[in-house]
Amino acid sequence: MNYKDDLLNKIKLNSAKVGIIGLGYVGLPLAIEFSLKDFNVIGFDIDPKKIQILNSGRSFIKHIDSKKILTAVNDKKFFATNDFSKLVETDAVIVCVPTPLNENREPDMTFVKNTAEVIQKYIRKGQLITLESTTYPGTTEELLLPLFENPLSSHEKFLVGKDFFLAFSPEREDPNNPDFTTSTIPKVIGGVTKDCLEVTSELYNKIITRTIPVSSTRAAEATKLLENIYRSVNIALVNELKMVFDKMGIDIWEVIDAAKTKPFGFNAFYPGPGLGGHCIPIDPFYLSWKAKEFDISTKFIELAGEINTYQPYYVVEKLIDVLNTNGRSLKDSKILIVGIAYKKNVDDLRESPSLKLIEILNKKYAKVDYYDPYIPEIPKTRKYDFDLKSISLTENTLSKYEVILLSTDHDNLDYEMIHRSANLILDTRNIFERKNIISDKIFKA
Ligand SMILES: NC(=O)c1ccc[n+]([C@@H]2O[C@H](COP(=O)([O-])OP(=O)(O)OC[C@H]3O[C@@H](n4cnc5c(N)ncnc54)[C@H](O)[C@@H]3O)[C@@H](O)[C@H]2O)c1
């Protein structure tokens, strides 16, 4: 049996059944995209709540439209399940599970490992498996390949590129960016063999306008890390310059605006209260960890991590200065953090620097509240348990806080009202000046 031709044929006819493992920010848009292109999709997740919400045709992510999910469910093109035995029904399996760091800031591969072991249990000949989770170079071939070559579902060994196909294709989702969607962001693909690459490219070409083949899974894994390390290092650079220029009485925001008029050789990055999100604060350390195996220490990554990790502490130092100049101390001061999501217009607070700010301020006995239109309460996380709910933002409540600490610059906030009612403002995003709201009660951090 020629499994490659058989799979290519099914993909061409849109009759290949696609399984997506991990229905989060990455997996869910992919599942929808395939089902809207007429593929039958089974979504696998271990979270029963998500499965229930999705099967009732609703979304649990703000920027993912419920209507599309409802259409896919009603058309019987998509359903979600935690019954992994259904993996045998699929022709292509795409893995989008989390890759966080553990307490020692080392890769936590538990989710990928668990998923790989489940696939090993159900894999059958003729299947394609693609890993999308961000990870260190070598993961696909060192961690996944040996398991699938020795399936628990068969007494035979499976040969990659003949009996099954394996590839790595990193996700490049930019949540809530209206200019780019899953289907319009070019996708890099590296296969274990040439045939793996060919089959995977055919599959993604069905939903993505441009795929970019690279020579190996390692090159594809490294590409994703380069992209995120590039951001982390450049953000660290402007964060460092922000602190230096501030001492010199120079506004970093004005300098960046001027520098970006250079039509070549300069990309603008902006300072902020620290790094957030599932990617930039985490992914670079996947490479640092792996590099140690080769006796190399990744100095840029470590330095950028150090500078970016320091930012919430810097913001609190500025906050103390602002209070001091007004004859107050941080202890017992009422501080309102506006914006708790890790970036504007999303409802995602993973690794958000606002959480670190709350922790530091609590330790210094400030009285902290927060407001975020997208996050009504702060759920318990591995690291934090604040038991806080978003306050309602009115002129009256705003006036009761000594300082409004603007941490996330959501578009739909009434900045005029915040300015009118606040006693003092510490702006970490330069949003007030960008809105032409300038006054001596606004400070920057
Ligand atoms: N969020 C982004 O913008 C983004 C962008 C690019 C890359 N990535 C990468 O993609 C991967 C997934 O990220 P995400 O943001 O979608 O994470 P997420 O937490 O939103 O979603 C992951 C999903 O996987 C599920 N899951 C965990 N273990 C599972 C298992 N064993 N079997 C089945 N499901 C399981 C979780 O319940 C969750 O629903 C990560 O490696 C991340 O670094 C994320």
**Which three-class secondary structure state does DSSP give residue 128?**
strand
In this structure, the residue with its CA closest to atom 21 of ligand 1 is 24
Mean pLDDT of 367-389: 94
pLDDT in tens, 154-168: 999 999 999 999 999
pLDDT in tens, 211-234: 999 999 999 999 999 999 999 999
Ligand 1 nearest atom to the CA of residue 174, by list position: 3
**Residues having CB within 6 Å of any atom of ligand 1:** 21-27, 44-47, 50, 96-99, 111, 114-115, 132-134, 171, 173, 175, 278-279
How far does the chain reach from its first CA to its final CA, in angstroms? 64
Distance 195 CA to ligand 1 centre (A): 27
Q: Which residue has the tokens 């693909």?
A: 189
Distance 312 CA to ligand 1 centre (A): 26
pLDDT in the model for residue 215 = 98
Tell which one of 97, 99, 136, 147 to mutate to probe ligand 1, the residue whose CB is within 8 A of the most ligand atoms.
Answer: 97
Ligand 1 nearest atom to the CA of residue 50, by list position: 39
Average pLDDT across the chain, whole number: 96
Taking 80 as the threshold, does the pLDDT of residue 178 lie above it?
A: yes
Taking 80 as the threshold, does the pLDDT of residue 176 lie above it?
A: no
Name the E strands within 304-355.
334-338
Decide: 424 and 402 in contact? Cβ < 8 Å.
yes
pLDDT in the model for residue 112 = 98
Decide: 405 and 338 in contact? Cβ < 8 Å.
yes
Mean pLDDT of 51-70: 94
List the catalytic residues. Answer: 279
Distance 379 CA to ligand 1 centre (A): 18
In this structure, the residue with its CA closest to atom 37 of ligand 1 is 47
The model carries a pTM of 0.94
Instruction: Please report the sign of the dihedral spanned by the C-alpha atoms of residue 345, residue 349, residue 352, residue 354.
Output: positive
Q: Count of CB atoms within 10 A of residue 320's CB?
A: 17
pLDDT in tens, 82-102: 999 999 999 999 999 999 999
Strands 187-191 and 165-168: antiparallel
Q: How confident is the model at residue 105 (pLDDT cuts 50, 70, 90)?
A: confident
Q: Count of CB atoms within 10 A of residue 136's CB?
A: 23
pLDDT in tens, 286-342: 999 999 999 999 999 999 999 999 999 999 999 999 999 989 999 999 999 999 999
Q: Which two tokens stand for residue 178?
A: 């209206």
